[in-house]
Amino acid sequence: MDGLHFYEGEGKSFLSHDDIEFFSSKIAIELSKKIKKGETAILIYPAGIEFVLSFLACIKAGIIAVPINPPRKNQKINRFSSICEDSSAKHILTTSEMSSIYRNILTEGEGAKENQSFIDTDTLKNNKTPLDSDYHLTFVDAIEKYSNNVAYLQYTSGSTGDPKGVCITYKNLKANIEGILDAVGRENRPLSWLPHFHDMGLVAGICLSIYAKFDFALFSPTEFVAKPARWLRIISEFKATLTMQPNFAFQHCLNNVDENSLVDIDLSTWNVASNGAEPIDYFLLEEFTKRYQKLGFKASTHRPCFGLAEATLAVTHALDQNKIRHIYVDKSELKNDLAVLAHRDNGQVLVSCGPPINNHRVEIVDPTTFEKCGERAVGEIWFSGPSAAVGYWKNHDATQETFKATPIDEPQTCFMRTGDLGFMHEGELYVCGRLKDMIVIRGQNFYPQDLEQIASRSHQDLAAGNCAAFGIERDGREHVVIVLEVKRTALKRLDVKAVLSSVVKAISDAFEISLHDIVLIKPARVLKTSSGKIQRSANKRAYINGEFNPVGSLSDEEIKQEPSEHKTDSEAILCAIIEEVLSIKNVSINDDFFQLGGDSISAITFTTKVREKLGIDISLETLFEKSSVNALMGSKHSDAEECTSLNAEPDKQHIAFPLNDIQYAYWVGQQDSQQLG
């Protein structure tokens, strides 16, 4: 019997397709009594079956679902509040187990509104109400019934203060699923660990399999981060044929999987690995293939793709091939917007993201003149077809700018502007950059202005608004650098380490990402236009070329030095684990894990390594609340009166806590940039 297998720990739950349709219809009936068709509802769920049923129930009831990243304790929830306000959602759907937790988090953070009600959908599926013709319909029936209506809003675009909800209609969803099926095949056993609220996790991880009635499997992204070997083991056990993930997943396996633990793993059934959400690293994929080919993995399994939420999901997708299609181009000519083929010894390698999905078009257009570009000429990637969303929720101006673009030589056709740069070669798309200043970390998009606003106001000695945030590439990955001006009055008395710590903590609290570098400079040194706008690209060049004369920086090793201190054996081990996880030196027992650059992903890695090396469980909730070694140990070095020992309250060490399911989201995803390629 085919259906949904949800892996959790060493066990799993199963729900057949018939049960999925039945229970989601039951929930749809009850929701229709509380929420009108066409109204919006926020969905906040941990990974699992309940999210799937709730989302399908909204689809069947004509309720516009708004799936978002679950909030966590001690996290700033500005974005949640902004999405609630923008979507006009009066109802929050979740589970009875998580309802009180989320309610408390949102109340403490002033995220929930008085007129918002919580609905525990898991209590609705066993209602005694008989199914009637309006709701006793399948997922496919619902798509046909509501065809032109908005099915859900994907909040992956827009800044924190100005979120943009992409309006995905039922017709959009069907067209994109059909296009993906044409690319990956119509007989598959998919497996996904991607966050359910992420466009790739939602469309390719869930909707695709329910639409096609695939036997499919899901498991938590938190579990993938903690135990990437578990992903490979489930692929083998489930005999998965199709997965979807960003580049990060392959790197994570190479860095954190012990090959000796995989002796009984068989990856020969794995035929398609749809790779998107961040720039694709050819050499990384080659390394992954080389390491795991002895377990049956094939080079032809790699299938790069490109897309974004504004296109529902996929724009292009590599087809069946013997190897990863790639070319080498002349680096200097690429700067002149030309992809001139070159020899591998002096060229830059670029990976093909495949042709456009069936019944859709991609054009490369000059973003200034709106003229179409020729073969291997670099321009903005424009997309047209039935998967292109109808626009942004209640945002006419942004909709016109993004979704109603017309080339000069084809004024009768509207295209969607992706904001990404690329070129076509032999009918396939090659992505080579971004038109905008967007920063992409593990597939999740960050607006530099959001980072700048938080960073420049994190300490009283910083000049608010006078800073530049940008991404730089190191080791094939994008990292965040922030350049900030110090107030003139603070220069002589500046406590550099205190300022850097404040910036790191503020960014970690607000966005759950770590910073590659922070550069503190004198007043009037941040590069701006004549009208006062931040020139991020110019500041990035100045940073790379070493043109700033900083008064302090995060990359200065002297700033990170700590005086020697006495550590117990356990404290020394914990400090060493932090140093390993965060790739830093000289961690003190009083250093805050998150101020050192830790984020939710590294937190999972840290707790996993502590369990492996010390046999001690530290819950993620505990780490967020007691984020230094000193606080975790409850040792004599602490000045705090209340500190929890690692071994205290064993009955509470495994309390589940709704950590956001991976900020990538996608990691793994927020877009308006490269989301799938």
Kindly state the tokens that stand for 51: 């999210």
Q: Which helix (H) or strand (E) holds 219?
A: strand 216-219
Res 450: pLDDT? 76
Are the C-beta atoms of 133 and 145 separated by less than 8 Å?
A: no
Res 535: pLDDT? 85
User: pLDDT of 607-626, one tens digit each?
Assistant: 888 888 888 888 877 887 78
Write the DSSP assignment of 189-211 as a string of letters: -EEE-S-TTSHIIIIIIIIHHHH
Rounded to an integer, what distance in angstroms lies between the CA atom of residue 207 and that of residue 429?
25
Res 664: pLDDT? 37
Q: Which helix (H) or strand (E) holds 419?
A: strand 416-425
Band of residue 114 on the pLDDT scale cut at 50, 70, 90:
low
501 or 166, which is more confident: 166
Q: What is the mean predicted confidence (pLDDT) over 648-653?
A: 38
| pLDDT surpassing 70 at residue 665 | no
| pLDDT surpassing 60 at residue 645 | no
Q: Phi/psi at 506 (nearest 5 deg)?
A: -65, -45
The residue written with tokens 């967020």 in the block is 624
DSSP state of 434: E
74-83, 323-332, 607-616, range with greatest mean pLDDT: 323-332
> Which residues have CB under 8 Å from 117's CB, separation 6+?
34, 90, 91, 92
Residue-range domain boundaries for the chain = 305-387+406-434, 446-559, 567-652
Q: In what order do the strands lie in the sheet with 477-486?
A: 462-474, 477-486, 517-521, 552-553
CATH says 305-387+406-434 is which class?
A: mainly beta
Least confident of 106-115, 325-334, 376-385, 483-492: 106-115
69 or 122, which is more confident: 122
| pLDDT surpassing 60 at residue 160 | no
Q: What is the mean predicted confidence (pLDDT) over 617-638?
A: 75
> Which residues have CB under 8 Å from 344's CB, separation 6+?
328
Res 353: pLDDT? 96
Res 111: pLDDT? 55
Res 157: pLDDT? 57
Rounded to an integer, what distance in angstroms lies between the CA atom of residue 601 and that of residue 513?
9
Q: Is 446-559 in CATH node 3.40.50.300?
A: no
The residue written with tokens 């100045």 in the block is 542
User: pTM score, two decimals?
Assistant: 0.79
User: pLDDT of 193-226, one tens digit each?
Assistant: 999 998 999 999 999 999 999 999 999 998 999 9
Taking only Cα atoms into account, the Rg of the chain, rounded to an integer number of angstroms, comes to 25
The residue written with tokens 């994008």 in the block is 478
- What CATH homologous superfamily does 567-652 map to? ACP-like (1.10.1200.10)
User: pLDDT of 223-282, one tens digit each?
Assistant: 999 999 999 999 999 999 999 998 889 988 998 898 888 989 999 999 999 998 677 889
Res 531: pLDDT? 52
Rounded to an integer, what distance in angstroms lies between the CA atom of residue 422 and that of residue 435?
10
Mean pLDDT, the chain, integer: 85
